[in-house]
Amino acid sequence: MTAFKSPFDLTGKTAAIIGGASGIGEAVTIGCARHGARVVCLDVNQEAARHVAERVIADGGVAESGPLDIKDRAAVERALEGIAGRHGLDVVICTPAINVRKAILQYTDEELSRVLDVNIKGNFNVLRAAGRIMTTARKGSIILFSSIRSQVVEPGQSVYAATKAGILQLVKTAAVEFGPYSVRVNAIGPGIIETPLTAPIKSNQAWYDAYAAKSVFNRWGRPEEMVGPTVFLASDAASYVTGSILFADGGWLAADGRFTPPGI
């Protein structure tokens, strides 16, 4: 009998995880390595990226690390082309985003540019560079991180929400353009996850509790809970999945209102 190989197995694949030094990116880096991938942890914080790679190696995995600012188009191209030249490039995962929580009428031009430069231009830089490599190789999976904010908003989320919706539209367009070359492009849509980005919310008990109540589990998500959805989209288990967003939001988008009618 032929030995069974899990379709989620990433053995033999090289995965570049951008933003891999903390939060969701760190969990995904470790998770991909545990599923057999050679991982390259890239982050603006080079020292933190090195520590994550060392953790992977200590855990028995294969890892490298390096610095990368996704706002720098040339640096993104050099980094991904370098990985492709050394090992091939099968999976690219991009997690970085920033948010400035302000009402529209209070937003400054500098703040607008800062969020757009990372969330839209940075992700576009990654998508374009990875797409050039993978369409030439005629294989690969690209995963960008969108959000529930691509669908629903709250006061103070105008630019962040717009960029997360924009990321989803970039994913759909790239899926159409790269599909003839057997390259898949998808997005993950997290709910509220305990990461450095959400630390200011967690420190406010009323705010923290309000977000927890929006999940049908009555809690926030953990970074490691984003590993399964990401590994699925990276793996052959998702070989016919492209142009999609996989929401991992604890039921946030499913629940419209919190009142349970009598007798239910």
Q: Which of 160, 181, 211, 240 is catalytic?
A: 160
Confidence class for position 247, pLDDT limits 50, 70, 90:
very high
Residue-wise pLDDT for 17-71, tens only, equals: 999 999 999 999 999 999 999 999 999 999 999 999 999 999 999 999 999 999 9
Q: What is the Cα 154 distance to its own chain's centre?
A: 22
pLDDT at 202: 83
Report residue 5's pLDDT band, with 50, 70 and 90 as the boundaries: confident
Q: What is the pLDDT of residues 74-91, one digit of tens each?
A: 999 999 999 999 999 999
Angstrom distance (rounded) from CA 233 to CA 93: 10
Domains, in order of start, for the chain = 14-248 (3.40.50.720)
In what order do the strands lie in the sheet containing 245-248?
62-67, 38-43, 14-18, 91-94, 140-145, 183-190, 245-248
For residue 261, what pLDDT band results from cuts at 50, 70 and 90?
Answer: low
* pLDDT exceeds 80 at position 197: no
- 8 A C-beta contact, residue 10 and residue 232: no
Per the CB < 8 A criterion, the answer to whether 89 and 130 are in contact is yes
Q: CA 87 to CA 90: how far, in whole Å?
A: 9
Residue type, 262: P
The Cα-based distances of 252 to 39, 80, 185, 222, 226 in angstroms read: 31, 35, 24, 15, 15
Told to judge if 211 belongs to the known catalytic residues of this protein, a careful annotator would answer no
User: Mean pLDDT throughout 5-26?
Assistant: 96
Q: Identify the band that residue 201 occupies on the pLDDT scale cut at 50, 70 and 90.
A: confident
pTM of the model: 0.95
Give SS3 for 85: helix
∠131-132-133 over CA atoms, to 5°? 90
Report the interhelical angle of 123-137 vs 73-87 (nearest 10°).
Answer: 30
Backbone angles phi, psi at 70, to 5 degrees: -70, -15
Rounded Cα distance, 37 and 76, in Å: 21
Residue % of the chain over a pLDDT of 90: 89
Q: What stretch of H or E contains 200? A: helix 199-202
